[in-house]
Structure 1
Amino acid sequence: MLYQTPALSSKDREVLESVDAMRDELRHQVVRTPMKWTAGLRKTLTAEAIAGSNSIEGYKVDSVDVEDLIDGEQEVVATEENRAETQAYQHAMTYIQSLHDVVDFTYSKSLLNALHWMLQGHHHPRKLAGQWRKSGVWINEPGRPHEAAYVAPDADRLPAMMEGLVTWLNEGDLDAHVLVRAAMAHLNLVKIHPWSDGNGRMSRSLQTLLIARGGVLAPEFSSIESWLGASVHTWEYYKVLGQVGGKEWSPDRDTAPWIRFNLLAYHQQSQSVRHRIDRSNRCWTDLTDYAERHGIEERQITALHDAALAGRVRRARYQRAENLSNQQAVRDIRALSEAGLLEAVGNTKARYYVPGRNFPADVLEMVRQPVRIADPYED
């Protein structure tokens, strides 16, 4: 028996309908937005999801640095441990994103173990990767290393329990909303805790995979990992997992608080992405107007746009984004620097560029304006 999908309250249904409306709106916005913008935004959102997951697990890599690592930059300031965790999660996320439209797709124990290897293979054999744990495991109470917050099922139960979960993934609760199913998949996998390490990451990855398979919106626009990575939300995440899951495997417990927590996350993440797209579009439009008035080449707007939104841009990233030769990219960045629109930071190999003294102040003021994210459960 698995933890059961609860009936939704009227408020839950209202929040879910609002999430659906935002996701549909985002889908139309993405279709209308030029490919160059959406490709960059997708990469940024993926980086933020990876950074959020890193943060939950105690690995600290800034989302801008994660994005540079995704781009293949070698001069990112990060420990080898943080770099390895980031790159492993990137590979798994890339694979998950590619599965969204596979026609003959099915969930299987082999698929889950393969995903686990992508995430944790660099720890093997010190910590088993890609296979069920061989012994019992328990989760510490935060701040109390000798007190168990949760004792996972015995290792000899894992094959049957995972068979049950895979069967449910393929056949169970198919009439439930995909976002609700995704949340329940997360809960059940993290409570089965089938691997010696990496169970939280795998459970969040499985949730993202179900969202991807839902097909409404690319998973990088729907993943809640960056939301969960905020410290205030991480605390609540562990709190509700403990509340709903209990101290040991107890699938008869009420799972409604877990669904409510996830619906809140989906809603607020959708709000955040909507603000990001609106801000990105306005930034591009304002920079285009500025470029036309000051004789700046259209392609150079890409560098200014990145500098405004991310706070910095690397020459190599600009070069790839605009498909330029090294010489042309160097000339463009130098011209923007000489005009005071960009300012170099760091030495030659690790150098990046931030907005300079002459960067249009109104654009920077607009992109730095904080946004208000509403709680849909508050009247």
Structure 2
Amino acid sequence: MLFATPKLSRDLQQRLETLDARRAALGARVGTPTPWNGTLRRQVRAESAESSIAIEGFSVPPTEIAALVSGQMVPDPEDTDRMALVAYGRAMEHVAVMAVDPGFRWYDRVILDLHFDACGFQRDKRPGLWRDHPIGVTSPSGNGMAYVGPDAQSVPKLMGQVVSWLHKGDPHAHQVVRAAMAHLHLVSVHPFSDGNGRLSRIVQSLVLARDGILAPEFGSIEQHLHEHTAGYYAVLQEVQSGSYQPDRDATPWIEFCLAAHLEQVDRRMEQLEAAARRWQALEYLVAARGWPDRLVIVLERSLVGGAERAAYAAEADVSLPTASGDLRRLADAGFVEQQGRTRNTRYVATALLREQLDAR
């Protein structure tokens, strides 16, 4: 038995209609080609991945997040914090592929493979396999258990029900509601030895991305969940009441997720507008110095996670020697500085560049 998708009040329905209008507007904006969209996508993807792993206690320096998620930096395999970020980013890349696959179908292996993507670096946690032992979630206060999952023996059957529901359950429910319920089903069954929260958020993003309105990185709510972690845990505890009780009312959870989506879509709109302003300021800076227009690309990259020579050369459609010359010119001007060596070399914006943009 799974949680029933609740009947929505008129107020919730109206808020969903408001969200639909805002998501459609955001989808139109991000679907319109602009020179800054690529960097913004990398930024948003990195922020979402970092937010999700931070909920579970992993921590990565802010200056490295975008570079790690984009593959510009390669982490030490023994560094679990950075590996968690890279693995989550890889899982979300998988989500992006499945979101546009015309032959996609929900199977248990979809969920198991996404878990392996996100938790494969934790070999002792049986990545890609259902748990075979009891499990509980410690209370945030550290006093006792906040939640005890169903018996391990019931996990395969319950996950079979979840997969069946994902395939054809509540087909007329709003996609945001279905995504929230998918999250609730998974986190309540708690089917894995570890990474259940990560996997639940990833599957929620996949359900949303399958509706075709927004790319996974723009439709996810990880940042809101991270910034409101206490509220996130509190509403789950309210709905779950300490153990697997799928006859309980899931309405508070739907209300919480809807509020998260409304806040998140407004945040993304603000980021789009900020990206446009930043690009225009960089264009002015480059033109005022008589530099080639392409340098806007590398300056933009330097501000968001750092610029890597080969990636810049590919985006600007120039040779590697030309890219190297461009980077030297910007370094000599004091706008970028080199960080790292060999495979992890990148060029990041200096305080001078940021001051120049702030002055605009």
- What TM-score, normalized by structure 2, do the two folds share? 0.91
Instruction: State the partner residue of 1:327.
Output: 321
Are 2:247 and 1:252 equivalent residues in the alignment?
yes
- Equivalent AA in structure 1 for residue 126 of structure 2: L
Instruction: State the partner residue of 2:287.
Output: 292
1:259: Cα distance to partner?
Answer: 0.7
Instruction: State the partner residue of 1:149.
Output: 146
Asked whether the equivalents of residues 6 and 250 of structure 2 are also in contact (C-alpha less than 8 Å), the reply is yes
- 1:283 is aligned, of 272, 278, 281, to 278
User: Could you tell me how far apart the structure 1 residues matched to 2:28 and 2:51 are?
Assistant: 26
Count residues with an aligned counterpart: 358
Instruction: State the partner residue of 2:132.
Output: 134
Asked whether the equivalents of residues 155 and 189 of structure 2 are also in contact (C-alpha less than 8 Å), the reply is yes
User: Could you tell me how far apart the structure 1 residues matched to 2:302 and 2:166 are?
Assistant: 42
1:360: Cα distance to partner?
Answer: 7.5
SS of the counterpart of 1:244? helix
Are 2:104 and 1:110 equivalent residues in the alignment?
no
User: Could you tell me how far apart the structure 1 residues matched to 2:206 and 2:346 are?
Assistant: 36
Asked whether the equivalents of residues 47 and 64 of structure 1 are also in contact (C-alpha less than 8 Å), the reply is no
1:282: Cα distance to partner?
Answer: 1.8
Are 2:168 and 1:175 equivalent residues in the alignment?
no
* CA distance 1:177–1:365, shift in 2 (3 Å): farther
Structure 2: runs of 5 or more not aligned: none
1:316: Cα distance to partner?
Answer: 5.0
User: Could you tell me how far apart the structure 1 residues matched to 2:348 and 2:120 are?
Assistant: 35
* CA distance 1:351–1:211, shift in 2 (3 Å): closer
Instruction: State the partner residue of 1:22.
Output: 22
Q: How does 1:197-216 map to 2 (within 5 A)?
A: 197-216=194-213
Instruction: State the partner residue of 1:50.
Output: 49
Instruction: State the partner residue of 2:90.
Output: 91
Instruction: State the partner residue of 2:230.
Output: 235
1:323: Cα distance to partner?
Answer: 3.7
Bigger drift between 168-177 and 39-48 goes to: 39-48
Q: How does 1:350-369 map to 2 (within 5 A)?
A: 350=345, 352-355=347-350, 357=352, 359=353, 361=355, 363-364=357-358
- 1:164 is aligned, of 158, 161, 173, to 161
1:314: Cα distance to partner?
Answer: 4.6
Q: How does 1:64-103 map to 2 (within 5 A)?
A: 64-74=63-73, 80-103=79-102
Query: Which digits, 9 at most, give the CA deviation of each residue in 1:65-108, with x for residues without a partner?
Result: 23212333347799711222122212211111101122222111
SS of the counterpart of 1:251? coil
* CA distance 1:11–1:153, shift in 2 (3 Å): same
Are 2:267 and 1:272 equivalent residues in the alignment?
yes
User: Could you tell me how far apart the structure 2 residues matched to 1:16 and 1:324 are?
Assistant: 46
User: Could you tell me how far apart the structure 1 residues matched to 2:126 and 2:189 are?
Assistant: 16
User: Could you tell me how far apart the structure 2 residues matched to 1:209 and 1:220 are?
Assistant: 10
- Equivalent AA in structure 2 for residue 239 of structure 1: A
1:148: Cα distance to partner?
Answer: 1.1
User: Could you tell me how far apart the structure 1 residues matched to 2:98 and 2:19 are?
Assistant: 23
User: Could you tell me how far apart the structure 1 residues matched to 2:359 and 2:309 are?
Assistant: 24
Asked whether the equivalents of residues 182 and 207 of structure 1 are also in contact (C-alpha less than 8 Å), the reply is yes
- Equivalent AA in structure 2 for residue 120 of structure 1: C
- Equivalent AA in structure 2 for residue 108 of structure 1: Y
- Equivalent AA in structure 2 for residue 328 of structure 1: T
SS of the counterpart of 2:145? strand
Are 2:301 and 1:306 equivalent residues in the alignment?
yes
Identical-residue share of aligned pairs (%): 35
SS of the counterpart of 1:144? coil
User: Could you tell me how far apart the structure 1 residues matched to 2:132 and 2:341 are?
Assistant: 49
1:201: Cα distance to partner?
Answer: 0.8
